[in-house]
């Protein structure tokens, strides 16, 4: 039977029974109250029965025993009111939980149902899930994008708030990536499809948020273990009370009053609300366990390139040594870096492309990436080294002759890349990155939040790292690190008692993020690795989401603490009231249900959470 219909039927019968009582029609009064108790109590007893089949003794069983006992001893009013209030509370509780999931539901509602595609030279409308990869999708002003893809024609502004949480539409032109669930506010776009249906970024986000909201936090798991033993203890207490006092009504009242309903719901409702707020603001928190740990973070580690900086380094300086020209240094480095996707390699290849050099590149015979140091390639039979000082020194090349040049570049914040061929250093390439506009403010906000340690971890040289750190306000820098060094440093801080968060791009920093208590991936939008490996993925490539995520997690922890403390206080207060003879079955049940609703309302405040600044 529909929950609302159960409540209306039971409530109407209780009202009718009360009127019969006032008119002195006690037999009709009893019949109406018993029927009201049966209608409201049947779903409760049914749940209790199925729970017992799995050897679970829960709140439903306590209420069922109390209602049946009240009828047996002739307390029909108490039986009707107890079952009605419990059913009504469960109904309101379900509605309130549904409301806390509105952030996710609003995402689901944005999922487009159809798509306009070009097939055989004609534009036709098909169900969104039937669009094929590499097919051209047409999107006009005001329409939702049904797929992930690349703009191949047209331009416009796309509202990406459903994924990134950013308020301003983003300009899109040929070559730009676009995502399902976003809205083309103005313009006309033709999009070549990359991902469709459940494979789209938008669909994966919805799936992960659903999983996260259903996941259990450590506090929740503890309370559920506690309730497993607490409920049988309450039944035992009621039996002992009856054995001593021979007061059946007192024993039944203890059964109902001691129900830990508010306590059981205290943690999950806060977790659902916190994760919902994060999803609405472009912060994908992967579960209750992660939101609890993030709320305890007191040390934040930042990768430098692509995190504190924009990750778009450019060649700013080229020095040829001896008879080697600048363009020849760049040509050799470009040829050696051909197989690398490192950000410094991309800067070198881009600079070479812009140089306009038309000389043929030497043929590559072999290629090896040396993590944290550079690359070793063999070109036309000659060994080429392109990387930092350690790479050359490990291969027995003396770098003392270029020490002053290296220091000069590094002091200016440039990363110095050495180029060696045939056992000789041919030149140095200086590469610089731009600090993110919001980086300094974000570091300041983290300090105001009381983060004890803020550390930069980078494989870059110390001078260049210190230059970037001084701009953003970080005083603790760990430079010249290999990937395994980052893991070692993170482990040292964790052993020292810190709860550590590692912020990176979700790809190169995946091992370090996995080592940390909380891994935070920048720019998760479009990055499978970021979404799948990070504990928290920032769907927009902006640092200012980090203080928000930590602040939201802390607010969630406070909310859980308030809810749990309140729920425990209510249960003990009611128990004392029952034993003192001032709390009775129906009034106690009313207070119990009000406490559940207050816990839900308190948790719902998280949906409106906004970071306090200043």
- The β-bridge partners of 309 are 435
Q: Please tell me the distance from the alpha carbon of residue 519 to that of residue 120, in angstroms, as a whole number.
A: 47
Q: Distance between CA atoms of 220 and 267, rounded to whole angstroms?
A: 5
Q: Could you tell me the sign of the dihedral formed by the alpha carbons of 565, 276, 300, 439, in that order?
A: negative
Query: CA-CA distance, 550 to 538, in Å (whole number)?
Result: 12
Supply φ then ψ for residue 238, to 5 degrees.
-65, -40
CA distances (Å), origin 378, targets 245, 306, 465, 566: 93, 29, 31, 70
* DSSP string computed for 79-135: HHHHHHHHHHHHHHHHHHHHHHTHHHHHHHHTS-SEEEEEETTEEEEEEGGGPPTT-
CA dist., res. 189 & res. 202, Å (int): 19
DSSP string, 406-441: HHHHHHTTPEEEEEEETTEEEEEEEEE-PBPTTHHH
Q: Rounded CA gap, 546 and 519, in Å?
A: 11
Distances (CA, A) of 113 to 125, 197, 199, 490, 518: 10, 10, 15, 46, 36
Q: Is 303 a catalytic residue?
A: yes
DSSP code of 23? T
Residue (of 535, 564, 557, 541) closest to 609 by Cα position:
557
CB of 241 closer than 8 Å to CB of 576: no
Helix, strand, or coil (residue 464)? helix
Q: Which of 303, 460, 505, 509 is catalytic?
A: 303
Q: How far apart are the first and last CA of the chain?
A: 53
User: Which residues are CB-contacts of 380 (< 8 A; sequence separation ≥ 6)?
Assistant: 362, 363, 365
* Nearest in space to 160 (alpha carbons), one of 613, 428, 542, 509: 542
Task: Report the distance separating Cα 291 and Cα 299, nearest Å.
Answer: 15
Neighbour tally for 604: CB within 10 Å = 20
Q: Which two tokens stand for residue 107?
A: 């995402």
Hey, what's the torsion of the CAs at 296, 455, 494, 488, to 10 degrees? 150
Q: Which residue, 49, 35, 40, is CA-closest to 6?
A: 40
Q: Which two tokens stand for residue 547?
A: 């203080």
Do residues 447 and 316 make contact, with C-beta atoms less than 8 angstroms apart? Answer: no
**Catalytic residue ranges:** 303
């Amino acid at each position: 039977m529909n929950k609302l219909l159960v409540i209306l039927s039971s409530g109407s019968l209780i009202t009718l029974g009360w009127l019969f009582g006032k008119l002195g029609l006690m037999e009709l009064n009893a019949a109406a109250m018993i029927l009201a108790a049966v209608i409201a109590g049947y779903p409760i007893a049914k749940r209790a029965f199925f729970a017992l089949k799995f050897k679970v003794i829960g709140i439903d069983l306590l209420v069922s025993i109390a209602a049946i006992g009240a009828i047996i001893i002739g307390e029909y009013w108490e039986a009707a009111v107890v079952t009605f209030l419990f059913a009504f509370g469960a109904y309101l509780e379900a509605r309130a939980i549904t409301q806390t999931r509105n952030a996710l539901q609003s995402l689901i509602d944005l999922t487009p149902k159809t798509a306009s595609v070009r097939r055989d030279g004609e534009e036709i409308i098909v169900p969104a899930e039937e669009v094929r990869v590499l097919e051209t999708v047409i999107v006009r002003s005001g329409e939702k994008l049904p797929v992930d893809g690349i703009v191949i024609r047209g331009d416009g502004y796309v509202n990406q708030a459903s994924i990134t949480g950013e308020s301003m539409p983003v300009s899109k032109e040929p070559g730009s990536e676009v995502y399902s669930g976003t809205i083309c506010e103005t313009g006309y776009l033709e999009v070549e499809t990359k991902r469709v249906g459940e494979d789209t970024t938008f669909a994966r986000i919805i799936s992960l948020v659903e999983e996260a909201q259903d996941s259990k936090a450590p506090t929740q798991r503890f309370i559920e273990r506690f309730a497993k033993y607490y409920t049988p203890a309450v039944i035992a207490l009621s039996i002992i009370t009856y054995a001593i006092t021979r007061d059946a009504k007192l024993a039944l009242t203890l059964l109902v009053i001691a129900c830990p309903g508010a306590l059981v719901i205290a943690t999950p409702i806060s977790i659902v609300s916190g994760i919902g707020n994060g999803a609405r603001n472009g912060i994908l928190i992967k579960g209750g366990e992660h939101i609890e740990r993030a709320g305890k973070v007191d040390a934040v580690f930042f990768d430098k390139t692509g995190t504190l900086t924009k990750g778009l380094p450019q060649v700013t300086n080229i020095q040829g040594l001896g008879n080697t020209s600048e363009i020849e240094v760049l040509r050799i480095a470009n040829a050696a870096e051909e197989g690398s996707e490192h950000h410094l390699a991309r800067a070198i290849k881009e600079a070479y492309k812009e140089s306009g050099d038309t000389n043929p590149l030497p043929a590559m015979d072999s290629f090896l990436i040396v993590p944290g140091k550079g690359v070793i390639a063999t070109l036309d039979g000659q060994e080429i080294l392109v990387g930092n000082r350690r790479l050359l020194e490990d291969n027995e090349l003396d770098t003392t002759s270029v020490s002053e040049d290296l220091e000069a570049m590094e002091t200016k914040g440039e990363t110095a890349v050495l180029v060696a061929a045939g056992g000789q250093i041919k030149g140095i390439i200086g590469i610089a990155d731009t600090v993110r506009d919001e980086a300094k403010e974000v570091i300041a906000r983290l300090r105001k939040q009381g983060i004890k340690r803020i550390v930069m971890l980078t494989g870059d040289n110390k001078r260049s790292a210190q230059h970037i750190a001084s701009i953003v306000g970080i005083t603790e820098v760990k430079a010249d690190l290999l990937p395994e060094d980052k893991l070692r440093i993170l482990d040292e801080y964790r052993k020292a008692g810190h709860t550590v968060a590692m912020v990176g791009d979700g790809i190169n920093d995946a091992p370090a993020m996995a080592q940390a208590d909380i891994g935070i991936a920048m720019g998760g939008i479009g990055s499978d690795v970021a979404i799948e490996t990070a504990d928290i993925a920032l769907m927009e490539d902006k640092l200012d989401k980090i203080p928000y995520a930590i602040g939201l997690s802390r607010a969630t922890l406070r909310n859980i603490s308030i809810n749990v403390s309140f729920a425990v206080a209510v249960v003990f207060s009611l128990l004392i009231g029952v034993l003192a003879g001032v709390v009775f079955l129906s009034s106690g049940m009313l207070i119990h249900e009000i406490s559940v609703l207050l816990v839900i309302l308190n948790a719902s405040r998280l949906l409106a959470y906004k970071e306090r600044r200043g």
